[in-house]
Amino acid sequence: MKQTKFILSEKEMPTSWYNILPDLPKPLPPLLHPGTKEPTILPPPLFPSAIRDQEFSQERYIEIPEEVQEIYRTWRPTALHRAYRLEKALDTPAKIFFKYEGTSQAGSHKPNTAVAQAYYAKQDGIKRMTTETGAGQWGSALAMGCMFFGIELKVYMVKVSYNQKPYRRILMETWGAKCVPSPSPDTEIGRKILAEDPDSPGSLGIAISEAIEDAGPRDDTYYSIGSVINSVLLHQTINGLEAKKAMEKADAYPDIIVGCIGGGSNFAGLYLPFVKDKIEGKKQNLRIINVEPTACPSMTKGPYAWDYGDVAGMAPIVKMYTLGHTFIPPKIHAGGLRYHGMAPIICHLHHLGLVEAKAVPQVATFEAGIQFARTEGIVPAPEPNHAIRVVIDEALACKKSGESKTILLAHSGHGHFDMAAYDEYLSGRLEDYEYPDKLVKEALAQLPVVDYAEA
């Protein structure tokens, strides 16, 4: 019998997250305060104390609270699959594995951090949280997390998505969250933008500003972010630690790990425990490929520079590959892959030569997603389609060279709420977009001037 799924028992689920900070060959650059431009921490009135500690912790393994583990076990451990049917269709000697996060109740990896963040807020006696969401993946994941801990949630959803994509909004409301289109009349910044342009379609940058403005002055409210920061990547390592154990059960170790990156949390969560092996010199040939859209090529076209985390320049300044905080994302379907920067940990690893990056155009990613759906049966979200494109290309390269490499795909979620995008592809209306170099240059002229000298 060929074994197709490698699943840990609930008892085998990891009970700690892996923190890569103490294992980095060079320390991660700090966050800088947007005003003083001196090293800073996550703003205390907005984040749980535990999250602020985790952000710069030097502890290698951080225990997952028992109550968070209990909720994780409602869908975790998630399965590692061997994609025999895709391998056969490609006629490749490569062995393709994928770790699938689409079986969480929200359909993606995002609840791994949403549940932890809601738990820590509850520990601090917080009754209410705010956040922003684009197409609704993050808003719905946090709605589920808050539901489990009895926390009220208000989600500012980018207006154009709120109007065009109602299903994730309804999902949030089903779990008990309140969701408003952003810009909204509920905040000062929202009212200001609406006064200037009542038809503003909104943007993630505006929604972030609204969520922060709402939480800032209130003692009972925290703000929450779904990707990019160190603690979010930390919470996602539950997936990589499971993957490592499951690969052992499959008696395999990857030669190549591939995933998609928006803010970078799902993919880093999968690969950080494997990067540890690489840093320790045990797996020097391991390749890790971060895949992004050609429409939002921060890693492949942006410089490694200090930039603001948000549009308004209110968030800390971060050292990262960036398209500039004034970057306006083109309307591509992978809504989760449109941030102007990237998780500092991923950028640092790339700068140190430990991981690679690649950009792929949209139409080819859907072609790959369809091939995945027609072999493995799972309809992937548009985000992991980017990674699947590169997995297929690497598997086809193996066919040419005759090498039997082991490829591990981070499959971050299903595409059941993204059928309109599939419809566009299937009817031939989907188009490619390459972000112009000229716009990158223009946006980079707006980078903050920082004279902080790294050790």
Looking at residue 188, the DSSP 8-state letter turns out to be H
Largest CA distance in the chain: 66
SS3 category, 238: helix
Looking at residue 93, the DSSP 8-state letter turns out to be S
Q: Which range of residues in 118-126, 204-212, 258-266, 356-364 is near ligand PLP by CB under 6 A? A: 258-266
Q: Among residues 368, 386, 387, which one has the least CA distance to residue 376?
A: 368
> Is residue 260 near ligand PLP by the rule CB under 6 A?
yes
Q: Which is nearer to ligand PLP, 132 or 213 (CB)?
A: 132
Query: Within 355-394, which residues bind ligand PLP (CB under 6 A)?
Result: 381, 383-384
Q: Which is nearer to ligand PLP, 78 or 265 (CB)?
A: 265
Q: Which range of residues in 57-65, 76-84, 263-271, 317-325 is near ligand PLP by CB under 6 A? A: 263-271
CB count within 10 Å of CB 217 equals 8
Q: Which is nearer to ligand PLP, 189 or 260 (CB)?
A: 260
Are 8 and 245 in contact by the 8 Å Cβ rule? The answer is yes
Q: Which is nearer to ligand PLP, 240 or 336 (CB)?
A: 336
Q: Which is nearer to ligand PLP, 142 or 193 (CB)?
A: 142
**From the list 112, 266, 326, 385, which residue makes contact with ligand PLP (rule: CB under 6 A)?**
266
SS3 category, 95: strand
Are 288 and 255 in contact by the 8 Å Cβ rule? The answer is no
Question: Residue with structure tokens 């950009």?
Answer: 359
Over the window 77 to 116, marking each residue x when it contacts ligand PLP by CB under 6 A and - when it does not, the resulting string is -------------------------------x-x------
Query: Within 130-169, which residues bind ligand PLP (CB under 6 A)?
Result: 137
In angstroms, rounded to a whole number, what is the distance separating the alpha carbons of residues 350 and 218?
Answer: 39
Contacting residues for 452 by C-beta, under 8 A, at least 6 apart: 30, 32, 37, 38, 39, 306
Q: Which is nearer to ligand PLP, 77 or 263 (CB)?
A: 263
Question: What is the smallest separation between the CB atom of 336 and ligand PLP, expressed in angstroms?
Answer: 3
> Is residue 421 near ligand PLP by the rule CB under 6 A?
no
Question: What is the smallest separation between the CB atom of 330 and ligand PLP, expressed in angstroms?
Answer: 16
Q: Which is nearer to ligand PLP, 221 or 417 (CB)?
A: 417
Question: What is the smallest separation between the CB atom of 394 and ligand PLP, expressed in angstroms?
Answer: 19
Q: Among residues 414, 412, 413, 408, which one has the least CA distance to residue 98?
A: 408
Which H helix or E strand runs over 173?
A: helix 166-174
CB count within 10 Å of CB 283 equals 16
Question: What is the smallest separation between the CB atom of 262 and ligand PLP, expressed in angstroms?
Answer: 3
**From the list 258, 261, 291, 317, which residue makes contact with ligand PLP (rule: CB under 6 A)?**
261
Q: Which is nearer to ligand PLP, 28 or 250 (CB)?
A: 28
Q: Is the peptide bond before 329 cis (omega within 30 degrees of 0)?
A: no
CA distances in angstroms from 322 to 68, 304, 308, 309, 440, listed in the order given = 33, 7, 9, 10, 9
Question: Residue with structure tokens 């895709």?
Answer: 86
Q: Among residues 358, 374, 357, which one has the least CA distance to residue 366?
A: 374
Question: Residue with structure tokens 């820590």?
Answer: 120
**From the list 140, 227, 237, 298, which residue makes contact with ligand PLP (rule: CB under 6 A)?**
227
Question: What is the smallest separation between the CB atom of 137 and ligand PLP, expressed in angstroms?
Answer: 4
Q: Is the Cα dihedral 175, 181, 185, 191 positive or negative? A: positive
**From the list 14, 264, 297, 316, which residue makes contact with ligand PLP (rule: CB under 6 A)?**
264
> Is residue 263 near ligand PLP by the rule CB under 6 A?
yes
> Is residue 344 near ligand PLP by the rule CB under 6 A?
no
Bridge-partner residues for 77, per DSSP? none
**From the list 158, 231, 413, 417, which residue makes contact with ligand PLP (rule: CB under 6 A)?**
413
CB count within 10 Å of CB 282 equals 10
Are 47 and 223 in contact by the 8 Å Cβ rule? The answer is yes
**From the list 184, 265, 294, 322, which residue makes contact with ligand PLP (rule: CB under 6 A)?**
265
Question: What is the smallest separation between the CB atom of 335 and ligand PLP, expressed in angstroms?
Answer: 8
Q: Among residues 178, 68, 62, 169, which one has the least CA distance to residue 118?
A: 68
Q: Which range of residues in 6-14, 160-168, 182-190, 262-270 is near ligand PLP by CB under 6 A? A: 262-270
Q: Which is nearer to ligand PLP, 181 or 262 (CB)?
A: 262
User: Residue count at the site for ligand PLP (CB under 6 A)?
Assistant: 18
> Is residue 48 near ligand PLP by the rule CB under 6 A?
no
- Which residues form the interface with ligand PLP (CB under 6 A)? 108, 110, 137, 227, 260-266, 336-337, 381, 383-384, 412-413
